[in-house]
Amino acid sequence: MKSNRVIIFIDGSNLYHNLVENFGKANINFSEFVNLLAGKNKIVKVYYYNAPVNQKEKPDQYKRQQKFYASLKKNPKIEIKLGRLEKRPNGPPAEKGVDVKIAVDIITFAYLNVYDTAILVSGDADFVPAIKAAQDFGKQVINVSFPKTKSFHLNQTCNKTILLDNEKISKILWKKK
């Protein structure tokens, strides 16, 4: 039986904020997390997308983020793809370029036949057109999101949705101290 090839696309900021909101912490064990999502399928690659914190404005947060990125880089299956943060006149900086990178990669890798199933870790309905394009190439798309922030449109479009609300799942994911 042929193994199902999986690429996992992680919207890092979305995942971080949802973990904090839903569980009060975000220090998950990424290797266990991606293995849990892939199940018995073959992980081709894991793409983690985010935007770097401004080093001058938030040196402590920047240092923690860089340490986190260094830990991700230890896993050869994980590749980090960064956008940028742009200042806004009122409010916190806005993440730019991240969602576009995710959408382009979902479609490009579907077109190149690099995966059979895409696993999208995000609750952002802006990905619906990219998901539909991947499905037009015959790909399955699974959405991984949280109960409080799940998107009706993502759930309607994706072939399957996994909600990260199970206490058993959350216990598996936390980093061991």
Residue ranges of the domains in the chain?
A: 5-173
CATH architecture of the region 5-173:
3-Layer(aba) Sandwich (3.40)
Q: What is the DSSP letter of 80?
A: E
The predicted pLDDT at position 3 comes to 64
- Specify which residues 48 forms β-bridges with: 10, 80
Q: Which amino acid is at 144?
A: V
The predicted pLDDT at position 36 comes to 87
What is the rounded distance in angstroms from the CA atom of residue 64 to the CA atom of residue 75?
Answer: 18
For the record, the structure tokens of 3 come out as: 């193994």
What is the rounded distance in angstroms from the CA atom of residue 14 to the CA atom of residue 83?
Answer: 14
Q: Using alpha carbons, list the distances in angstroms from residue 129 to 102, 103, 155.
A: 12, 8, 13
The predicted pLDDT at position 177 comes to 46
What is the rounded distance in angstroms from the CA atom of residue 6 to the CA atom of residue 109?
Answer: 11
What is the maximum span of the chain, computed from C-alpha positions, in angstroms? 56
The predicted pLDDT at position 106 comes to 98
Mean pLDDT per segment of 10 residues, for the chain of length 177 residues?
85 90 82 89 97 89 92 93 89 88 98 98 94 98 87 92 72 61
Q: Which candidate, 157, 176, 168, 170, places its Cα nearest to that of 106? A: 157
The predicted pLDDT at position 49 comes to 97
